[in-house]
Each structure stands twice: as structure tokens, then as C-alpha cells.
Structure 1
């Protein structure tokens, strides 16, 4: 029996509604045609589940968790890095469709279209992608299980873990600041760090904070 079994459906619905109500504080910004030029489309997910014992009325940061993975060492691109479930769009797919497919492939959660709660801002990466973050509600469909071909580690973390002030670094290679989000006694960089920070700002604090201008570390430019 999974952790979701201890959270009643009415509580899960209440948590879901609170997240949906928070997202419109940020009018979503899609990448421009110029920003998309020469880049491939991808999606990443904030895959959300209730924390065991949630009441639906407590602080969202303590009552909702998200799925974070460490990419398998066998993967060619960005192996071993912390990541949100996601990947490149297949031909004809929308960002929402790709997000749901990737969550099923990487962590075994089959989510219907009505589990999409909303989108955050597009983030153009240095490595040739425009990433669309998709917010998904995964409560009540079972526990995430990592696919060992793609995922080395899987963590179900309460949002309190990202409700911290990020660090911004200056680097000689760029005029934009590099964002570092504290997690696991170390730091998570953009694009994952940028998505986590924007979600924290919008959903937990009601602040329409933009992040597409925030820089990635040089090692992630490839």
C-alpha cells in the first residue's frame, strides 16, 4: 500500500485546487520564435504528490511533495545530474503529452490529461533546448518507481526542501547570474534549479518571478 493511501481523496482534491489557484499569479511566458531558433523542444515536470498525513489546510510546502531524480550514469547527456522527470518532445507531441509520457517512462506513473495543473515559463538552455515545465498532480495513482535505464536515484521530497533562498554567482563567461538552489547539502543549478525556484516563488509565495534569464554553469552548456 502506497503513501497516498493515508491521504483521503477530499484532501488530495483540496491540495490540487490550492496549487491550481496559485499558478495564475504568473502569466506564463512562452519562448519567442527567435529564442526557439535552432533549439529542440523538451518538457520537464513538477510531479506532485501529497505528503502522508496531509490535511489539505496546512502550509503547501509541508503537505505536498515533488519527484526529483538523479540521471543514470549510462545516459549520454547530463549523466549523473539531478533532474526533474522529462525529456524531448516526440514528433506531433505537445509539452503536456511529452511530460506525461516521460513520467510514465522514468518513474512509472500513468497520468491522464486532467492531471495537468498548468505550465511555468519556458527556459531556453545553453545545450540547445527550450524546456517547458509542466505541473502534474500524481496523487492517488501509486508510488513512483524508478526505471533503472534512466534513473539512478528517485526522491520524493516535501516542498519545504526547496523553500529556501537560492544563491546567485557571477561568472566571467556571462553577464547573467548563475542560480544555485540549496538541496541535499549541495546546490542544484539551472535549468532544474531555475524551475524549482520559479515554482517555489509562484506556488508557495505568490510572487510572479521570472527565471529564463538566469544562467547555467559552464559545465552544463554542452
Structure 2
């Protein structure tokens, strides 16, 4: 599992892959609340290596407390999904990015908790993370190469659904959908250039609330 270099060649490649991807955006949310998350490509703790940013929600949050998540939240009235992703990134991690840093977007992913998540891929150079303690218990830079580790993703059948769940083993924890589904599509589409869909993957039963 070789590290993925954090350089302009990676930025160009990801932009190209997302630009030619046949994006599926739902015009009608079907009663789901719209939300956006930022998949941030930044430099890893190891200089020169590409990473993505992952957070651990503070246990104090009424919903999703303690869970692993990407920076993001509900779309406010009048906002685009891109504006939401950038706002949440700044509010949660203190990272100030602009629309020029957005490389593209991925498919909508519907959650069991009533949200329709739109992932926005953001390029961030030289960032310092300042987690907001009211929302984030910890912030981590995970090498993008970890998404390609052997045996990842894990696809498991469950009795409660006819759809399999997806989860990703990462250095900090094994992460479940929706975060796992979104990151798997990021791996497939943005990094590998493969048109892969993930909205058929289920979330674990504990997330059905």
C-alpha cells in the first residue's frame, strides 16, 4: 500500500475524474433533509503524502455523538451544497476554503436518519486544524492510501435489510456508512477514476434513528 503523493498531479487527476463522472443528484429529496459533507484532501502528518480529514463527533451531541464523520451538516435556506460544505468545514475544523478549492461533487446518499447527503470534494493546502469542541472531539488526517488497504471495504449482510452494509477499516477505527459509503465512492471515483455507485449500501442498525 504505497502512499499517494499530495501534489498538483493528484489535484489535476481528481478534478478530471470528478469532471467526467456521471453525477446523480436527486432533484426531489423525497422528504429527506438536505445536507452536505466536505471530503477534504490535505497533506498528511507525513509530509508529501495525501490524506483526507475525518472527525470524531463529541459525545455531547444529542444525535451522532461519538460517531466518525466527515465535516458537514444541514443545508441552510438559500445555501448551495458547496456553500454548506465550506461553511461546515470552517465551523467544525477552522479550515477556511473557497469555491476555487472545490474539485467536484459525488452522488447523493440517503441516510436512515432522514438526510440526503451531498459530498463535496475540497482541496486544502497548508491547513491547520482547529476543532470546534462543541462539535468535534478529535480531527484526524488519514492517508488516502488507507482507502485501498487489502480487505477494504467490508461488505456484510444483515437480517434487518435486503441491502448489505458497508464499512471501512481505517487506522483510527472501523467506520460505518454513511461515512464509509461516501469515502468508498471518493476512492473509486475521485482517486481511481471508476464509476461506482454506493446508494444501495445500508447503514448499521444502530444508525437507524
2:161 corresponds to: 174
Q: Secondary structure at the match of 2:35?
A: strand
Q: Does 1:49 align with 2:42?
A: yes
Unaligned 5+ segments in structure 1 are 1-6, 55-62
Judging by fraction of residues, say which structure has more helix.
Answer: 1
Q: What is the CA-CA distance between 1:105 and the residue it aligns to?
A: 0.2
Once residues 53 and 181 of structure 1 are traced to their aligned partners in structure 2, the CA distance between those partners, rounded to angstroms, is 24
User: Normalising by the residue count of structure 1, what TM-score does the alignment of the two structures yield?
Assistant: 0.86
Larger radius of gyration: 1
2:26 corresponds to: 31
Once residues 74 and 176 of structure 2 are traced to their aligned partners in structure 1, the CA distance between those partners, rounded to angstroms, is 19
Is the contact made by 1:68 and 1:155 (CA closer than 8 Å) also made in structure 2?
Answer: yes
2:128 corresponds to: 143
**What is the RMSD computed on CA atoms of the aligned residues?**
1.7
Taking the TM superposition and a 5 Å limit, the aligned residue runs for 1:1-222 are 12-33=7-28, 36-51=29-44, 52-54=46-48, 63-140=49-126, 142-164=127-149, 165-184=152-171, 186-222=173-209
Q: Which range is displaced more, 190-199 or 161-170? A: 161-170
Relative to 1, partners in 2 of residues 1:68 and 1:49: Cα closer, same or farther, differing over 3 Å?
Answer: same
Between Structure 1 and Structure 2, how many residues are aligned? 202
Unaligned 5+ segments in structure 2 are none
Is the contact made by 1:31 and 1:124 (CA closer than 8 Å) also made in structure 2?
Answer: no
